[in-house]
Amino acid sequence: MNEKIEFIQAMIHMAEEHDLSELSVDFKGIKVALRKNQPTVAPMQMMIPSVSAPANAAPVSAEPAAKAEEKIPSNLIPVKSPLSGVFYKTPKPTSPPFVNIGDKVEKDQVLCIVEAMKIMNEITSEVKGRVARVVLENGKVANEGDVLLYLEPIE
Amino acid sequence: MQDHRFDTNLLKSLLTTKRFGSRIFYFDVLDSTSNKAKKLAKEGIDEGAVIIASTQVKARGRMEREWQSPEGGLWFSLVLRPPAMELHPLTIIFGAAISAVIEAISSVKCQYHWVNDLYVNDRKLGGILMEGRFRGMEPEYVIVGIGINLNFHAKDLSGEFNAPPTTLLDERGEFTASTALLAAILNRLEKEYDRFLEEGPTEIIHKYKNRCVTVGRKVRIINSGEIEEADAEALDLTEDGGLMVELGTGSRGILYSAERLILLDS
């Protein structure tokens, strides 16, 4: 029985993959005839006909990412956001942060998450160092290229 | 009793892909397929590796929330190694493509709810969670974790849900062949992923736009940027998959992230 279901599903799958509207197969005594219904999807009610959104548009009411106004010592290494998204210091709301100021971090250690449209992106350290500053607050928006935190290199 | 073990040979025979499913790992039980996929990705496995589990005991949704994965579901993760580019539209593209495949295979009308849920009749059938890892500005890998409630009953799930859960068994009243469904999903996902890498997201998102159950509906936005909670009307999708909304105040904006987005009654 299971084999027959698999067989029929495979036929459906083949019809779907090759966009066939009809398919008839007679194989080992199993006859399958498929006819695809045309989708009857109601037209969407679009309140705005078309919108051209900039690729890096910020979420609703988002404020620009925090700017570090004070002078940053030249030995500090900025960790920049590779994408636009929401900055998270913790893996989940009740967890401790991935890193705190003063923490030693190893190369490839996860420093934070930047999320865009439910893609949770772990940002890792490219160097061995110590966390010198965390620029953004948890839950704030980072634009691509914004500095998330600074690391002080350790020899 | 349905046999929920996976037939990897049948899966391979049904694949028309070049990369997706080039390596297939099946486990009866895993903590989570995405954890296993991450481990394999860190060890250097190629793009397209697929990790499947009959049961996951520690699967997670966004922000580590529990995701129940009993036997009978389709639980798998896919390893991607994308180039440095804006990857966020992939959530929408994959969700829409999977909803189309489910509908074609099962005849159950399936849509996606922005941004990463699969819905049938306003009930949650499944979800997608993508987890990337960046070194500097370069992505090392992206894991696409996909869960679809297939051959079990929603009454066997417990807990609090944003939307009531459903399963394909509940919707169809019969079992769905998980191997054939997974093959069809992987075939479709590779096609759309390659198109996305080549052309960008605009045309694909447009093609699948009528699969988005969210557009045209009233929604409750919870924790998005400065918004803690607000009701809004979902107006449209942008060409990169953002959700254009109009708040009760009349102001409009584009969502790229929300902790939760609840569909309100029409």
Q: Rounded to whole angstroms, how far apart are CA atoms A17 and A25?
A: 16
Which stretches within chain B are classed as H helix?
Answer: 8-14, 33-42, 89-106, 168-172, 178-199, 202-207
- What are the residue boundaries of the structural domains of chain B, listed by start? 8-210, 214-263
| Phi, psi dihedral angles at A53 (to 5 degrees) | -95, 135
pLDDT band at residue A13 under the 50/70/90 scheme? low
Q: How many CB atoms lie within 10 A of CB B118?
A: 26
Q: Do residues A21 and A93 both lie within one domain?
A: no
User: Is A57 part of a structural domain of the chain?
Assistant: no
Count the alpha carbons within 13 Å of A56 in the hemisphere toward its beta carbon: 13
**B65 vs A contacts (CB less than 8 Å):** 92
User: Is A54 part of a structural domain of the chain?
Assistant: no
Q: Do residues A27 and A86 both lie within one domain?
A: no
The Cα of B157 is separated from the nearest Cα of chain A by a number of Å equal to: 23
Instruction: Report the chain B residue with the minimal C-alpha distance to residue A1.
Output: B2
Nearest neighbour of A117 by CB, restricted to B115, B176, B212: B115
What is the residue range of A22's domain?
A: 2-35
**Can you tell me the ipTM of this complex?**
0.85
Q: Which of A119, A124, A126 should one mutate to test binding to chain B, selecting the residue with the greatest count of B CBs within 10 A?
A: A119
How much is the average pLDDT of B163-169? 95
Tens digits of residue pLDDT in B66-82: 778 888 999 999 999 99
Nearest neighbour of A13 by CB, restricted to B183, B210, B224: B183
Nearest neighbour of A55 by CB, restricted to B2, B86, B253: B86
User: Is A126 part of a structural domain of the chain?
Assistant: yes
Q: Do residues A149 and A76 both lie within one domain?
A: yes
Q: Do residues A75 and A147 both lie within one domain?
A: yes
User: Is A48 part of a structural domain of the chain?
Assistant: no
The rounded radius of gyration (Å) of the Cα atoms in chain B is: 18
Q: Do residues A11 and A83 both lie within one domain?
A: no
Q: What share of chain A is helix, strand, coil (3-state, %, to 5)?
A: 10, 30, 55
Nearest neighbour of B244 by CB, restricted to A2, A43, A51: A51
The rounded radius of gyration (Å) of the Cα atoms in chain A is: 26
CATH of B214-263, one of 2.60.120.380, 3.30.70.20, 3.40.50.740, 2.30.30.100: 2.30.30.100
pTM of the complete model: 0.82
The crossing angle, in degrees rounded to 10, of helices A2-17 and B89-106 is 120
pLDDT at A43 over 60: no
Contact A12 B241 (CB under 8 A): no
Q: B56 - beta bridge partners?
A: B30, B69
Provide the percentage of residues in chain A whose pLDDT is more than 70.
55
Token pair for residue B223? 């924790």
CATH number for the domain harbouring residue A148: 2.40.50.100
Q: Do residues A131 and A77 both lie within one domain?
A: yes
Q: Which of A28-32, A48-52, B216-220 has the highest mean pLDDT?
A: B216-220
Q: Which of A3-12, A121-130, B63-72 has the highest mean pLDDT?
A: A121-130
Q: Do residues A23 and A74 both lie within one domain?
A: no
Contact A119 B176 (CB under 8 A): no
Tens digits of residue pLDDT in A80-94: 999 989 999 998 878
**A93 vs B contacts (CB less than 8 Å):** 63
**B112 vs A contacts (CB less than 8 Å):** none
User: Is A43 part of a structural domain of the chain?
Assistant: no
Domain B8-210: CATH architecture, name and number where available: 2-Layer Sandwich (3.30)
Instruction: Report the chain A residue with the minimal C-alpha distance to residue B128.
Output: A118
Residue A52: predicted pLDDT? 30
User: Is A14 part of a structural domain of the chain?
Assistant: yes
Q: What is the DSSP string of A68-122?
A: --SPPPTTPEEEE-SSSEEEESSSSTTSPPS--TT-EE-TT-EEEEEEETTEEEE
Contact A116 B256 (CB under 8 A): yes
Q: Do residues A79 and A136 both lie within one domain?
A: yes
Provide the percentage of residues in chain A whose pLDDT is more than 90.
38
Q: Do residues A70 and A31 both lie within one domain?
A: no
Q: Rounded to whole angstroms, how far apart are CA atoms B35 and A122?
A: 14
Q: What is the DSSP string of B115-151?
A: TTEEEETTEEEEEEEEEEEEETTEEEEEEEEEEE--S
Q: Do residues A91 and A31 both lie within one domain?
A: no
Domain count, chain A: 2
**B235 vs A contacts (CB less than 8 Å):** 46-48
Q: Do residues A132 and A71 both lie within one domain?
A: yes
